[in-house]
Amino acid sequence: MQWSLIVIFLLGALGVLSAAPKKLIIDTDLFSDVDDTGALLLALTHRDADILGVNINYPSMYTGLAASSLLGYYNHSHVPLGLKRPFSNVTYFDDYTYENGEYASKVAYHWQDDASLPWADASSTWDTVELYRKLLSEQDDQSVTIVSIGFLDNLSRLLSSTNDTYSSFPGTDLVTAKVKELIVMGGSYPSGREFNFFGYNSTATAHVVNNWPTPVTFSGSELGNYVFSGARLSLEAPENDPVRGAYIWYNGYNKSRNSWDPLTMLYAIEGLGRVFRFGNFGGHNYVYPDGQNEWRSESNGREQHYLELVVSNQTAGSVLDHMFIQGAKRAAHH
């Protein structure tokens, strides 16, 4: 082995050389739960993430505007934004626990100077399926990771989409060609019933999970349920940070929230790394028409995994808090 190779090997082992940034398309609802904003903070401030596009799967104008404010604040104004149509002016109201506050309209309004979209007008956002098709058609084969941290409707539409000006491939073929991995926050493992799967359109969930042609990794509710993050962000992040604002509006000051979406994003960017391992050997996920899911031990010919933690719940929360605060500090600019 040449000296230069040894040096490269050592640097690699020390994590000094990082691989090419991961090309991500993020599919988020950014509406009812604040942990989507934590996931976006991670992705938009991580040097190993190359965000190709953000698609919003909850059809409210305020989710689109909030996403535009966040992209602008974290120096990603160039990233194209899709919003599910037809969208309305609805805002979140917590009639389940009567504890959590709405944040999307507030982030949208108070950080409107950072946004590319004009205030109260989300009409220039992309159609989500069109945006997927455009972005995928422009990328190298098997190079794109899609991270779904909300409902699966638009991915279902993507699979069913037909050829268009961007690509002569129908949806499933386009996904097969371009997507390296789909990462989904949803379901429970090895089996159960979880909101992202049943809460909006369980038919679409079953369509995506049971038919997706590339490798898929699932992050179940049991993973984020016991990992709490966000309180330190409200205490230690720059006061003007919009995700800090979102956590305080939703959750209160110095209070943490479950970490379903940020954990999923951490895996999407860094892989198994220091926090995760796969919980299964073989098998595949199956979703019933009502949104319940179960892990079946036989193979369906596709590589599927679900995640488990290799660290304690508390350590995983500390890793996220540390990354939130470092990201928010690096981005601080006004």
Ligand X SMILES: *[C@@H]1O[C@H](CO)[C@@H](O)[C@H](O)[C@H]1NC(C)=O
**Applying CB under 6 A, which residues contact ligand X?**
61, 75, 78, 84-85, 88-89, 120, 127-129, 153-154, 156-157, 163-165, 201, 203-204, 207, 226, 235, 254, 309, 312-313
Using alpha carbons only, give the angle 212, 269, 223 rounded to the nearest 5 degrees: 70
Q: How far is CA 142 from its chain centroid?
A: 19
Least distance to ligand X from the beta carbon of 284, Å?
20
| In contact, 60 and 87? CB cutoff 8 Å | yes
| Residue placing its CB nearer to ligand X in the complex, 143 or 225 | 225
Least distance to ligand X from the beta carbon of 95, Å?
21
Least distance to ligand X from the beta carbon of 334, Å?
11
Residue among 197, 32, 196 at smallest CA distance from 99: 32
| Residue placing its CB nearer to ligand X in the complex, 163 or 297 | 163
| Residue placing its CB nearer to ligand X in the complex, 8 or 235 | 235
| Residue placing its CB nearer to ligand X in the complex, 75 or 191 | 75
Distance of CA 120 to CAs 70, 136, 278, Å?
A: 15, 29, 43
| In contact, 34 and 246? CB cutoff 8 Å | yes
| In contact, 275 and 284? CB cutoff 8 Å | no
With H, G, I as helix, E, B as strand and everything else as coil, classify residue 98: coil
| In contact, 238 and 332? CB cutoff 8 Å | yes
Least distance to ligand X from the beta carbon of 129, Å?
5
Query: How many angstroms separate the most distant Cα atoms in the chain?
Result: 65
Residue among 63, 32, 30 at smallest CA distance from 195: 32
| Residue placing its CB nearer to ligand X in the complex, 224 or 245 | 224
Least distance to ligand X from the beta carbon of 245, Å?
17
How far is it, in rounded angstroms, from Cα 66 to Cα 69? 5
| In contact, 229 and 266? CB cutoff 8 Å | no
Least distance to ligand X from the beta carbon of 302, Å?
19
Bridge partner list, 88: 60
| Residue placing its CB nearer to ligand X in the complex, 12 or 329 | 329
Least distance to ligand X from the beta carbon of 331, Å?
7
| Residue placing its CB nearer to ligand X in the complex, 272 or 309 | 309
| In contact, 307 and 267? CB cutoff 8 Å | yes
| Residue placing its CB nearer to ligand X in the complex, 139 or 203 | 203
How far is it, in rounded angstroms, from Cα 283 to Cα 58? 31
Least distance to ligand X from the beta carbon of 242, Å?
16
